[in-house]
Amino acid sequence: MSQKEHYLSVAIDVESVVSNEDSVASDEESVASDMESDATDVESDATDMEFVATDMEFIGIHQTSLAGGHSIEGCRALKREIGRMIQEILTVVQNIDTTKVTQNLSPSHDNARYMGNNESSMGIQNLFIEGNVLDNGESSSHDDVQISG
């Protein structure tokens, strides 16, 4: 039986701001003392946020039967694995368990799923997941989904 390669590429661009709560009190004390001694140093000591940016791309291939048409089971398995990798990476970057699975907005994959995030615990400003599906170069669908901020 002839096989068809189904390519799924997922790119994730994460930009987040993480609060350094442990250092806020000492920064405020430092700012207060600097204001008394030298007002020009206040801006450099007043920072209580840290910017974290991460770019990741995942590319996977699964085989589908030409005779059987396109089954989304291979896509689902691939998306689950990509989602697991994204969750591991985001957990390391944020040092907290941050992701959940929500319904995919793409109508072409019916009830397939994509990774979402818990913004309140994460502080994520922008999270883009780009999916690009190519069937042996014959056809493609392209979805850019912004799932936060």
DSSP per-residue string spanning 46-84: ---EEEEEEEEEEEEEEEEETTT---THHHHHHHHHHHH
Residue 24 lies in a domain: no
Burial of 78 (0-12, 13-18, 19+ CB in 10 A): buried
Please give the pLDDT value at position 84: 73
Distance CA 113, CA 134 (A): 18
Is residue 8's pLDDT more than 70?
no
**Computed from CA positions of residues 95, 11, 127, 141, in that sequence, does the dihedral angle turn out positive or negative?**
negative
Residue 25 lies in a domain: no
Residue 42 lies in a domain: no
Domain count, the chain: 1
Query: Quick one: what percent of the chain has pLDDT higher than 70?
Result: 3
Residue 82 lies in a domain: yes
pTM of the model: 0.28
Residues 87-98: tens digit of each pLDDT: 676 655 555 444
Residues 55-88: tens digit of each pLDDT: 555 555 555 554 555 556 666 666 677 677 766 7
Give the domain range for residue 66.
3-18+50-146
Contact 99, 86 (CB under 8 A): yes
